[in-house]
Structure 1
Amino acid sequence: MTDTLVFALTGWPLGHSLSPVLHQAALAALGLKGEYRLMPVPPADSTALAALLQQVRNGQLQGLNVTIPHKQAVLPLLDELSPTARAIGAVNTLWMREGRLVGENTDAPGFLADLYARLGDHLADKARERCAWLLGAGGSARAVAFALASEGWRVVIAARRLEQAEALALSLGYWLKAEQFIPLSLAALPEGGVPHPQLIINATPLGMTPQVETSPWPEGLAFPSGACVYDLVYNPPETRLVREARRAGLEAVTGLGMLVEQAALALEKWTGLPVPREAMFRAVERDRKNPE
């Protein structure tokens, strides 16, 4: 390991990313000298993306996180995928191991760890088939669908673009109990012949800063009774979806814990050290109280 560690995040756009705050806090807590940079690459700029990955190969970067829209675009540029990343078909964490550029997906285990930590008591009834409605069918949805399916959940994928939902269901058909996909609409959710959910997950960007008044939940549709809501969006601290779900009496949380957990798991891959999650949460709290 070099004296000064350099890690980075690539994606587009990156203006509201909390990743530098999280990783700098973790590095400081571990007593490591290093920095975490934002390195945006526009969509479809394959040359810039390949050049950035070359920085991992030649040691300029000791680790790279990948977010929207590059989680699948980087796959052909890698030497090796973890079993989880291969199953999901998307990566978010890259590093060199024994001379090979490796891709991992820490979104799936990060989601499960936070889901059960925060909502586990409300999801403990395993006597009946557990069903989740997954809103969205992008890269993050792929990780969530795989994570839930690996835990025995039935996953119903609802997306505004039905063909995208269908493609995701078919690609994960080996793990999913049922290849069920429906339009994300007022009519389809209650009338699509889908089972009552114990869990609703938002894996779309709707509700994210600065579009804080948007929501993936169809206008005028009542929330299913007794369901829990998990919104992957973490900025703002309380999204419209979470606020309205709580108002309807549902347990609802944002995705900040998943963000912390997936970041910690990535840093553990890069450093080989256990990462203190609490230091990362405290850093986010300080950042939100003292915005630049």
Structure 2
Amino acid sequence: MTEPLSFGLIGYPLGHSLSPELHQTALAEAGLIGIYELYPVAPLPDGKEQLESLLNRLRSGELHGLNVTIPHKQSVLPLLDELTPSAAIIGAANTLYMKSDKLVGDNTDAPGFWADLTHLPIQNASSALILGAGGAARAVVYALLTHGWTVRITDLRQEQVDSLYTHYSIQEIDSTKLAVIPFTPQAIEKAGLESDLVVNATPMGMHPNIEKCAWPDAIALPGQACIYDLVYNPMETRLLNHAAATGLPNRNGLGMLVEQAALAFEIWTGFSASRLHMLEAVRP
């Protein structure tokens, strides 16, 4: 009898995660017996021992694959043996697996974002403004830069912006099209008017803080831009409601969640799961 597969998600908090439903759907479609569990791990240093324990379970074969989300996409890196080229350039990993006795970190957020972004009318687009500079933003920046876009980034936390910019400036990727702007209404408004796409890569607007919005209230959304919000809980954030009211093309991050999960599942099992079936499993 084939050993049941065991996958899971490391992060904190994980109370509203849709990942178990996505991966159980993929397992059923593939005809595989397995389980996908949630592993809440507190931010380091408090969660260090638990994080190391989970990675050791993956090394030993007790677990067959792990996803990583906030706040561990970057803090997990020193505990890995190897990174895929894209994960190394991004500086964040969301998918872990064993290969040739090495614990490998990959990043499926970047291709997942790009695959879902193509549902918006971006055929002639080439410039973006990214709100946020954390692990999710790093993947978005990578996806856009590798497709030749001009990217501006901003964040309330200047140290995060500086870290992202410095990181990309020394990677084997053309970072000449990456720029930092101040997190002020004036700078954001100007950058927005020069952008074809605005992406919220912050948790602002995510449940339970649904009253929050990454876009400053004092300025209007740029009338020519598409709006993409990585948040998917709730499905309609304040930012997306604002975009819809303004008549702008907009999309939440549920499709990206599905895409990155399907790519991770394929890495672990070799099976290409139906994105449509996975989406139907979690869409309200």
TM interval, shorter chain, is over 0.9
Name 1:275's counterpart in structure 2: 273
Residue in 1 that maps onto 2:114: 112
Partner of 2:228: 230
Which of 164, 167, 176 in structure 1 is aligned with 2:163? 167
Query: CA contact under 8 A between 2:145 and 2:177: conserved in structure 1?
Result: no
Kept in 1, the 8 Å contact 2:236–2:252? The answer is yes
Matched letter for residue 37 of structure 1: E
Structure-to-structure mapping, 1:167-206, within 5 angstroms: 167-173=163-169, 174-191=173-190, 196-206=194-204
- The CA RMSD over aligned residues, in Å, is 1.5
Q: CA deviation at 1:177?
A: 2.7
2: distance between equivalents of 1:97 and 1:71? 19
More displaced, 85-94 or 169-178? 169-178
Residue 2 (structure 1) shift: 4.7
Distance 1:191 1:146 in 2: 23
Cα offset, 1:240, TM superposition = 1.0
179-188 or 270-279: bigger deviation: 179-188
Distance 2:274 2:178 in 1: 38
Equivalent residues of 1:162, 1:182 under 8 A apart: no
1:137 aligns with 2:139: no
Cα distance per residue 1:242-278 (max 9 Å; x no partner) = 1101111100110000000000000000001111111
1:165–1:182 CA contact under 8 A, matched in 2? no
Report the counterpart of residue 18 of structure 2 in structure 1. Answer: 18
Matching residue of 1:52: 54
Change (3 A) 1:2 1:159: farther
C-alpha deviation, 1:191, in angstroms: 4.5
Residue of structure 1 equivalent to 2:68:
66
Q: CA deviation at 1:139?
A: 0.2
Q: d(CA) in 1 for partners of 2:124 and 2:72?
A: 37
Q: Describe the SS at the equivalent of 1:39.
A: strand
Most deviating of 166-175 and 44-53: 166-175
Corresponding letter in the other structure for 1:176: S
CA distance in structure 2 between the partners assigned to 1:23 and 1:185 by the alignment: 40
Aligned letter for 1:30? A
Q: Is the 8 A contact 2:150 2:178 kept in 1?
A: no
Distance 2:39 2:188 in 1: 39
1:146–1:175 Cα contact (<8 Å) kept: no
Please state how far the C-alpha of 1:153 moved relative to its aligned partner: 0.4
TM-score (norm 1): 0.92
User: 3-state SS of the aligned residue for 1:10?
Assistant: strand
Which position in structure 1 is the counterpart of 2:6? 6
In structure 2, stretches of 5+ residues that fail to align are none
8 Å contact 2:113–2:259 — kept in the other structure?
yes
Instruction: Quote the Cα distance in structure 2 between the aligned partners of 1:166 and 1:181.
Output: 8
1:184 deviates by: 2.6
Query: 1:261 is matched by which residue type in structure 2?
Result: E
Q: 1:282 to 1:179 in 2, by over 3 A?
A: closer
Structure 1 window deviating more from structure 2 (39-48 vs 83-92): it is 39-48
State TM-score, norm by structure 2. Answer: 0.95
- Distance in 2, matches of 1:10 and 1:175, equals 32
List structure 1 segments (4+ residues) > 2 angstroms apart after TM superposition: 173-179
Does the aligned pair in 2 maintain the 1:6–1:36 contact within 8 Å? yes
- The answer (yes or no) to whether the contact 1:231–1:255 under 8 Å persists in 2 is yes
Alignment match of 2:146 (pick from 147, 150, 161): 150
Match in the other structure for 2:99:
97
Q: What CA deviation, in whole Å up to 9, does each residue of 1:74-122 have, x standing for no partner? A: 1111111100000001000001111111110000000000101x11xx2
CA distance in 1, matches of 2:137, 2:276: 26
Identity of aligned pairs, percent? 53
**SS in structure 1 at match of 2:32:** coil
